[in-house]
Amino acid sequence: MNTNQNPSPSNLRNIGLKATAPRLKILDFFYQNPGAHYSAEEVFMALAQEDREIGLATVYRVLTQFEQAGLLLRSHFESSKGDSRAIYELNEGQHHDHLVCLDCGHVEEFVDEAIEKRQKDIAKTLGFTLQEHALAMYGHCQKKNCRNKLKPD
Amino acid sequence: MNTNQNPSPSNLRNIGLKATAPRLKILDFFYQNPGAHYSAEEVFMALAQEDREIGLATVYRVLTQFEQAGLLLRSHFESSKGDSRAIYELNEGQHHDHLVCLDCGHVEEFVDEAIEKRQKDIAKTLGFTLQEHALAMYGHCQKKNCRNKLKPD
DNA sequence: TTTATTGCAAAACCTTTGCATGTAT
DNA sequence: ATACATGCAAAGGTTTTGCAATAAA
């Protein structure tokens, strides 16, 4: 399913970052959970049971660096319920948008060429040079284990 | 252009809120600026030169109440530059999405039935009951007075 | 009068930053 | 050795909340 090779020190050196333990652990965490979405706090918690804990500030710094390097993607899912944290996922190359379950937090990813094209046309019509876009839909999924306000995904 | 009648005490009583001066002023402010987008801070500032100033906490409370009553719409424009404030606009009935200029903050609104329809189809395909969605595109506009980091719009 | 609303200050969140210590190269 | 990274605690920005004072119904 996931075609990414596991992270190694060179993954980091290639983007001008020293291969430190916190960075390798965080990157590895995302590689082990491709397609999953995590807030900084969640990454922090997930790695908190390690022998050598990583500071929350470091998690924030590393996530920012990884996003700037294109390793991770950052989104903000803000339905009317207003969840204001940034969430990160592994950048697997393919652009996609999100469909988020308001009950359990499950996230489906999708790509739709028709929507992508319409967006470009609209931007052109309105005289904009399009740079990026964020489309998130919110609804209720029908997973059996839904309704429990679980995190990841 | 704007077919909304000016706000009156009954506008508020109809939604179960007492017609207080802060609420009337804030609602009036949005009626006077249909199509414009303001953060709580901006509303606060805009009304700060009045004889009787409105507290920022009240602005937040009132904006929340108005949004819940359907009078205002709330959005979050978060490009990679990460502006993390909520912004509000008058709800003029017609659903629309946003195209935001990264340079001057100007906001164009648009509706696209093709995109709306695709979204519904996608949600259905993925087994979701669609509730809401947020589409924001970010780019560079070509207004003459762009490039100045001005607010409203 | 009764109940809702305001303003202020304090707190709550999420995120960033200063700085001294520690680590990769 | 040198430059960069970390951890902690403090600070920043936005939004919410407790509470006594105030205003609407």
The residue-averaged pLDDT of A122-143 equals 93
Query: What residue has token string 């996922």?
Result: A89
- Predicted pLDDT at B151: 46
Question: Cβ of B111 under 8 Å from any chain A Cβ?
Answer: no
Mean pLDDT of B28-56: 94
pLDDT at residue A6 in the model: 65
Residues 14-73 of B with CB under 8 A from A: none
What would the mean pLDDT of B90-110 be, rounded to a whole number?
92
Residue A151 clears pLDDT 70, i.e. is over it: no
Query: A148: pLDDT confidence band, cut at 50, 70 and 90?
Result: low
At residue B152, what are phi and psi to the nearest 5 degrees? -20, 165
pLDDT per position as a tens digit, B103-134: 888 899 999 999 999 999 999 999 999 999 99
- CB under 8 A, 24+ apart: contacts of B122-129: B122/A99, B122/A110, B122/A112, B122/A137, B123/A99, B123/A137, B123/A139, B126/A99, B126/A108, B126/A110, B126/A141, B127/A141, B127/A142, B128/A99, B128/A101, B128/A108, B128/A137, B128/A139, B128/A140, B128/A141, B128/A142, B129/A139, B129/A140, B129/A142
Identify the pLDDT of residue B2: 42
Residue of B nearest to A67 (CA): B80
Chain B residues with CB-CB distance to A101 below 8 A: 128
pLDDT of residue B56: 98
Contact: A137, B128; criterion CB under 8 Å: yes
pLDDT of amino acid B54 = 97
Quickly state the pLDDT bin for A144 (edges 50, 70, 90). confident
**More confident call, B145 vs A142:** A142
Question: How many residue pairs bridge chain A and chain B with CB atoms within 8 Å of each other?
Answer: 118
Q: Cβ B79–A132 below 8 Å, yes or no?
A: yes
